Structure 1
Amino acid sequence: MSDLATTVTVIDACGRVAVPVLLLSDPGMGKSSLVRGIAAAEGVPCETVLGSIREPADVAGLPVVTDHGVTLSPPAWAQRLAEAAAGYLFLDELTTCPPAVQAAMLAVALDRVVGDLALPPAVRVVAGANPPDRAADGWEMSPPLANRFCHITFQPSVDDWLDGMTVGWSAPPASRAITADPTRAEAVKALVTGFIRHKPEHLHTFPRTAEGTGGPWPSRRVWAMLAAALANVRDNDAAARQAITFGLVGEGVCVEFLTWCERVDLPDPAAVVDDPSLVDWTDRPDRVWAVLSAVVGWAASAGTAEAWRKAWGPLLAAAEAGAPDVLAAAARPLAQCRPASARVPATVRARFAPVLAAARLSGAGAA
C-alpha cells in the first residue's frame, strides 16, 4: 500500500518510460479524481474509458472499408489524445470489463496503439479497478493484461483526503520522480540482469492460482519494464522503489531483488572504466557480472569507438583475476555492440579470440 505522494511518484516514473500503472482499491477511494487531478496540474487532457460499457471495437478500433482495404478507425477519445499530443488515458473499472474487451485493451495498455492510430509518446496510460469480488459484475483480470501493468494498491490516508477536500483534487502532491540519464539507466539495467543471473528461476514464474494471475508476477516483459521505471526514482526513495518493484514482480521476488540490490552495491560504471582497480574482481560472481554488465551498458549507450575500446579494460582486469564464465557472458554483448569505426585492441584480440570470432570481429583490425 502506497501513500498518495508515492503513488503520484510511481505514476510519473512509470509514465516517463511508457509503463502503464493500475490503481487497485475499494470503490469510492478517488482513483479517477487523482488521475484527473494530475492531468489538470500538468495542463493536459484526461480521457476516461469505461470498459464495462464498451464493445471491443470501441477500444481496438472500428473496421472501415476503404478503397485501399480495411482500416481500424480509432474512437474519438483516441483522436482527441492524438491531437493534444499529450495527456492521460484512464482505463476505469478494469475488472468490470468482459474478456473480449480486456483482449482489445492489450495493445492499448502497453503499446498505446488504438486501431491504426499510435498514441503520442507523451500520452500516459493509467487504469483503475476494484477487486473482482467488489466490482459490479466483476471479472478476474486476464493474465496477459495483468502482466502489462504496475499494480499499485491505492488507499489514501485520512490526511490525504482532508487535504484534497481543502485545496481541491486538482492539486496532487508533487512527484519525486527523476529523469534518468543514460548512465543511470544502464546501471539500473545491470542490477536487473545481475539479479536474474544470480536467480534465473525468477525470470519467468507464472502463478499457480487463478487469483495470482490477475496480480503482479515475474516475466521477461515486466523485468524490462522494471529496469526502465526504476531508473526514474532515486536510490534513497525506498517507498517508490518498493512500490514499483512490488507492483511489477510481486511481493516475494520484490523482497529478494531489493535485498540483493542493497547487498551488491554497484559502483559507477564510468569510474570503473577509468580505474578498473576500484573493483575486487575476485568478489562474488553475481556482483562481478553486474559490474561488467553496467560497463557494457555504459559503452553501448555512449556509442563511440573510444568508449567501446575503454570498456574492455575492466574485462581484461577481470580476466587477470580469473572469472571465465562471467567474463565470456559480459564479453559477448560488448563485442556485438562495436561501433563501425572501432578497432579491436591488440590485448583484447589475444585474450578474447573465441568471443570475437563468434561475434564476427576476428577480422576487425587491431588498434
Structure 2
Amino acid sequence: MKPTRIETVLQDLLTTTWPTFLWGPPGVGKSSVVRKIAKSNKLALLDIRASLLDPTDLRGIPTVEGGNARWCQPSFLPSDPKSKGILFFDELNAAPPLVQASLYQLTLDRRVGEYVLPDGWRIIAAGNRAEDASVTFRMPAALANRFIHLDYEVDFEDWRAWAIERGIHSYVVSFLSTRQELLFNMDNTTRGFPTPRSWEMVSDILSTADDQKGAQDIILGAIGEAATIEFIGYLDNAISEAALLKIIKNPATAKLPSKLGDQYALISYLASRCDNKEIFEASGQILARLKPELGVLLLRNLLQKQPKFALNENAKAFIKRHKGLIQ
C-alpha cells in the first residue's frame, strides 16, 4: 500500500478504536506517516519503543493503600481522560514474546489491569518483516488478530512529492528520478544501502559537506558502494547550481538543459525553493518553455508547495493548453 493510501486509511481508522499495525522494511518512513497523521489531526503522539519495554512495564508496580494492593500505572501512558492522541508502539515485533503478550489486554480491551486508556486515544504499532533481516520475534496469533494489518510499499512518486515538500537536495531528487529503483534497494550483504531514510542522510551531507571528496566518503557509509558510485558519477556530470541560477536570472531566454537528469535537477530546484519570490516568478516562464511532460511534473510539484502558483498567468495558460495531460 502506497504511503498516501496508508495516510488515508489511517485517517479513516481514527474514527474507530481498532488498533493498526504497519508492516514494512527499515528506513521507508513508517513512523513518519504516523507522526504526520498525529500532527495533521492535532493529536498528541506517544512514541514507545516496544523493544525497550520490560514485561512488567505496562502493568506498573504495586503499592499498599489501606491494607490493599493498588497498582501504580506507568507514567508514560496517558492519564488525562479528556486527552486525545496516538499511542505508537514502534518496533513492536522486535520486542520479546513476554512483552508482546503484555499488550494483549491493552490492544483489545484498551486497558491493563486497573489502567484504562482514555477514549480519545488510538493505538498504532509498526515493525519490520521477518524477511528484512531485522531483529524480530514471531507475533503470537492472539496478538496479531487484535490488529488491522497494513503493508507499507515504497512508491517513488509519493516519495518525490514528500522530498520536494521536505526540501531534499535537488541533486538527490533528480538522480533518483532517473534511477527510481535505487530509492529502496535493500542489500543484506552490506551495512549501508539505499532507503528513503539513507537518501535523506545523503541530502543533509550534500548540504553541509565542504568538498565532494569528503561527502563521498560519508555517502558511501549511508547508501553503500554500488549506489555511491552511480550517484557520484551523476554529480560529476550534473548541471551546476551556478548554471541553474543563470537560468533563473534569465528564465525567458536562458538555454534550458537538454539532458534528462539536468532537466529533473532544474525542476527539483525550482519546486523546492519556490518560496523565494524570484524563483516563484521565474518558474512560470520556465514552465512555458518546458516539454509538456516535464512541465506537468514541475506544475504539480509547484502547486504542492505553493498552491497560489495556480494564479500565475503562465500556469493558467499551461493548464488550459495541456488539460488532457494534467487530468
Q: TM-score with structure 1 length normalisation?
A: 0.42
